[in-house]
Every structure is written in structure tokens, then in C-alpha cells.
Amino acid sequence: MRDEGLSVPIIGVAKSGWDLNQFKKRAIDSLKHRGCIPESTSVQRLLGLLRYVDGDYSDANTFTRLRTQLGRRGAHCTTWRCHQACSRPWRMGLQSRGAPNNARLVIETPFGRDRATARTLSRLCSQYSAEENISRIDHYLGKEPVQNIVYTRFANSMFEPLWNRHHISSIQITMAESFGVQDRGQFYDETGALRDVMQNHMMQILAQLAMDPPTGEECEAMRDQKASLLRAVRPLDGTHVVRGQYEGYQSVPGVRTGSAVETFIAVKLFIESWRWAGVPIYIRVGKMLPVTATKIMVRFRRPPRESFDELVPPGSGYVRMRISPDVNIAVGVRVKLPGERMVGEDVEMTLTQHAPHLRPPYQRLLSDAVRGAGELFGRDDIIDAQWRIVEPILDNVTPVYQYALGAWGPDEALALIGVDGPWQNPKPVAATPA
């Protein structure tokens, strides 16, 4: 563990019935799990910064106690305060108690529950903090391989001429998790895969994949292009959505009996722009799937006619990006087999491969929030565009299908992708190619 020079208090808020010593013990246990030595100077410095407020976010008195902790620090230091919080509780907290002057607000996704509540929350935050001081945090944007999508596209001139409807036939994005909702039953049953992952993480990955190059070096140039791309995405409708729920979900503590909340969702999207018109984009996310991995597959069109007398699979040319848990970028091409006949086989060339030991995304994002660097955070118009895409399919407007534990979601997802399939299933970390 490194000493990054952090000198502001870190205030934990929970309804665990803990005191400060129990909070510190939890922190020590977590650090030990990551190989840190509790007696080290940096760990002891961190422990000295910890504060704890026990309470329920639904109780306004919790915010009174939190305000007291913040006020104590403010009386002795002019360093800005940085609050990480869940959208709905902070909505109540800001309305009832206000925020400290000059505060930087770090608000965790999902930002609101729909387009209307997100807009209301943005207006509320703007009453207490300027837009440049509001960091809508999406931890996917702090992942090094997600940032690498944009870098690889625009740092290599070989991709740009091909990155359009003339050469790309379809795009697939899969975010799979091999675990369930665990002890987050009550939260998840109020959120579901659509709000928890699709509306934010997956829309941001889509923006990175499909946006135009930023014009300028300022952070707003990058966010301007993301906003423009997301505004061009056609809003979803029920015919392009499949929702699923894994067997046993309703027995998880906190989940309502008869819940129709999805733990799996697959969608088919279109971007109404000259670059992407007519290119189908398939995205699926889910829990209790066979592996934990995030994978992107960009498929190229076949040549206008085959020059050799052979049957070539339609998906033989592609760019594959693996975002987690390991990181790699590869290109699929067709090469000739040895011999007299002009026939070939599909092979994959790995362009880059990294171990999964990268800087944790929250470490990067919280550091940026403290410094006031906004490039990796959601802007108000970007969040609004994301909600616009998914709003027509919120709140159980389509059936939810059961799927077995360890399956790749319900069979109906296969019908959704149809002739553009099959879905490209990520493989375990030890297997290559992924």
C-alpha cells in the first residue's frame, strides 16, 4: 500500500450498529486480504483518517451526524470535502440538510431511477454545487482497459477507415458475472440489471466504441463526443429486449416474493448516424452466468465476393477486446492453409495482453474527484442521454424468463441476436483465446 498524501477524513456511513473501532477493524481485514501490513506507516496514517457515522440513510438524523463530522473538519482546514454517496439517499440529505459550502459531490450510479428523477437530482445538486464540482461516478470509466478502447481507436490510424457501417457488420458486448446478488437482495430488487449495469456501464462502453474523435485536448471535448453519440442511439422498445431471472433469485433475503426484476438483460441497439446506420449492436449483462468476464466483439463484413472456392464463416474477421478480468486485444483474420488448394482457416492474432493487476478504478476516480478532474465522470447531458435510451423499457414492460444457474441466460436471447449470432461467450481467464 502506498501513501498517496491523502489528508482529508474518510467518513463511513452504514446501519451496521458498529462503532469506529469496528469500522477500523473492517478496514484492516480488507487491507490484509490485499497483502498490506497493518503496522506499516501508510496503513496507520489511513486508519487515523477514518471516521464513522452509524445510521440509516432513510433517517434525516443520519445526515445531521454526518454534517457534524464534516463541520469538524471544516473548522480546522480549508481542504474541500468529497462525499461518495448513493443517489436516492443523497437526494433526501441535500434537501433536508444541505451540503457544506464548496463541496465536491461524488454521486454513485445509478444516478436516479429514470430520466425524470435524474433530471430532478441534477437540479437539486446544482443548487448546492457547480456542475464542475459534481462527479457522477461510474467505476467502469476508471478501468484502464475501458480507457484503452478510445486510446487504441484514435492512436492507430489503421482502425479509423474501417470503423463504420461500410466495414463493420455487427457489434457484441457481453458483461457476465458468475455470482448472484449475494447480500444485496433488497438493493438489487429495487434496481435490476437494467438500471444497475445496462443504463450506465454498458452505455459508456458503447460510447467509447462508437464515438467520433474528440476535437481538442480538454476533457470536455471527450465528453462532448460521448454525449453526441448517445443522443444518436435509438431508444429501446420491447421487441429488442429480452429479460431473464436466474433460478433461486427470489429466495435471496431482501428480494420480494414474485419479483419480476431482471438479473439478465439482452438488448439490440441502433445508432442513427451516418457512421453507424444499419449496424446492429447487441449488449447483454447477467448474473449467475458461466464466467465472470467482459468482452467486446466487433465483426467485419466479408468482402463483396469470395475470390476462392471455399465456404467462409461469416464471422471470420473481427476485433476482439477483453476488458476483464484479464485484458487483451486481438484481431481475427483468415490465412491460407499449407498445400496446393487455395483454402484457409481462421486464426487470431493477439495485439496486446495484460495481467489483471491494474490500478483499481475507484482509486483513480476518487483521486480525480479530489483534484477536480472531470473527464472520467458522467456529465449531466450524458446521463440524460443514457436514460433516454432505456426509458421505454423500464419497469417490467417485457416478460422475464427463468434461466438455470450457469447458463448463458434464457434461450430467448438467442432469438434476439438471430442471424447476427451466435453470441460470443467469454471463456475463463486460463483459456485462450477468450
Residues with a catalytic annotation lie at 201
Q: Using the structure block, give the residue that is written with the C-alpha cell 498524501.
A: 5
Q: Crossing angle of helices 380-390/115-128, nearest 10°?
A: 170
Choose among 241, 191, 231, 202: nearest CA to 384.
231
Q: Are 223 and 375 in contact (CB under 8 A)?
A: yes
Helix, coil or strand: residue 313: coil
User: Based on the number of CB atoms within 10 Å of its own CB, is 354 exposed (0-12), middle (13-18) or buried (19 or more)?
Assistant: middle
Strand order in the sheet with 241-246: 344-354, 327-336, 318-324, 293-300, 168-176, 281-286, 264-269, 241-246, 400-403
Type of residue found at 17: G
161 contact partners, CB below 8 Å, separation of at least 6: 167
* Residue 48 backbone zone (phi > 0: left; psi -120 to 50: alpha; other: beta): alpha
Provide the terminal-to-terminal Cα distance of the chain, rounded to the nearest Å.
31
Q: What is the DSSP string of 214-232?
A: PSSSSHHHHHHHHHHHHHT
Q: Are 299 and 317 in contact (CB under 8 A)?
A: yes
* Angstrom distance (rounded) from CA 228 to CA 207: 9
Type of residue found at 286: G
Helix, coil or strand: residue 162: helix
In 80-219, where do the E strands start and end? Answer: 82-86, 104-108, 134-137, 168-176
* Angstrom distance (rounded) from CA 285 to CA 201: 10
* Angstrom distance (rounded) from CA 311 to CA 301: 15
* Angstrom distance (rounded) from CA 99 to CA 220: 26
